[in-house]
């Protein structure tokens, strides 16, 4: 195996390793983002994770939505929190009462985590792919060839251009001559 083939194989391994690292980083970031913040109380956390279900402000967090529908949902959330239910029980109750889309922030496991991870993974793998393509283009540009044998010579390239140049001069002279008449 010659040096060029080894370098190409090494470049492919580097791109593959970068894509695997990007995927791992994307999954880790998605998992971390999906985790609930335990430093704040349950009511405040859930009020930021529940979307208003009225048609004028869909999915705006009820904590920041100022419509009357959100106020009713906040009162209902306060009652559920005061009963001592867990966050997941409250979210399940509200999703059953309104719609599963009441959850603005998906849960931290299963399909919910995949909903967070997929865009992050696609963006990171896409960035690695773009980097690989750009690297390949730069590599091809530095040695002046793309690895294939050139089929034409410089004489073959300049001859058609010279013929075209003469033809264009003839057309220009003919047009200029007709203007003088």
Model pLDDT, residue 139: 76
Q: Are 67 and 57 in contact (CB under 8 A)?
A: yes
Question: 83 lies in a domain?
Answer: yes
Question: The domain that contains 71 carries what CATH number?
Answer: 1.10.8.640
H helices within 83-153, ranges in order? 87-97, 110-143
Overall pTM surpassing 0.85 (yes/no): no
65 in a structural domain: yes
> 3-9, long-range: CB within 8 Å, 24+ apart, which pairs?
4/147
Is residue 63 domain-resident?
Answer: yes
Average pLDDT over residues 112-119: 76
In a domain, 5, yes or no: no
Domain count, the chain: 1
Q: pLDDT tens-digit profile of 118-171? A: 888 888 888 888 888 888 887 776 655 555 555 555 555 556 666 788 888 888
**Residue 66 in domain:** yes
Note whether residue 93 is domain-resident: yes
pLDDT-based confidence at residue 34 (cuts at 50, 70, 90): low
Residue 109 has pLDDT above 60, yes or no: yes
Q: Which of 4-13, 26-35, 147-156, 163-172 has the lowest mean pLDDT?
A: 147-156
Q: Output the CA angle 129-125-19, nearest 5 degrees.
A: 85
132 lies in a domain? no
Residue 100 included in any domain: yes
Question: For the segment 54-97, what is each residue's pLDDT rounded down to a tens digit?
Answer: 888 777 888 888 788 888 889 999 999 999 888 889 988 988 88
| Domain that residue 85 falls in | 38-107
């Amino acid at each position: 195996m010659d040096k060029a083939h080894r370098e190409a194989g090494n470049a492919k391994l580097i791109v593959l390793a970068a894509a695997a690292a990007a995927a791992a980083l994307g999954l880790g970031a998605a998992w971390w983002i999906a985790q609930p913040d335990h430093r704040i109380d349950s009511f405040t956390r859930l009020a930021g994770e529940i979307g208003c279900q009225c048609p004028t402000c869909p999915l705006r967090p009820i904590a920041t939505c100022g419509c009357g529908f959100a106020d009713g949902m906040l009162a209902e959330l306060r009652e559920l929190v005061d009963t001592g239910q867990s966050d997941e029980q409250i979210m399940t109750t509200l999703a059953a009462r309104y719609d599963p889309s009441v959850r603005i922030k998906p849960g931290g496991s299963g399909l919910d985590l995949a909903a967070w991870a997929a865009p992050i993974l696609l963006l990171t793998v896409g960035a690695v792919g773009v980097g690989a393509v750009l690297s390949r283009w730069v590599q091809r540009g530095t040695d002046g060839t793309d690895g294939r044998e050139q089929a034409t010579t410089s004489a073959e390239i300049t001859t058609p251009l010279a013929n075209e140049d003469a033809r264009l001069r003839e057309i220009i002279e003919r047009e200029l001559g007709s203007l003088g008449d």
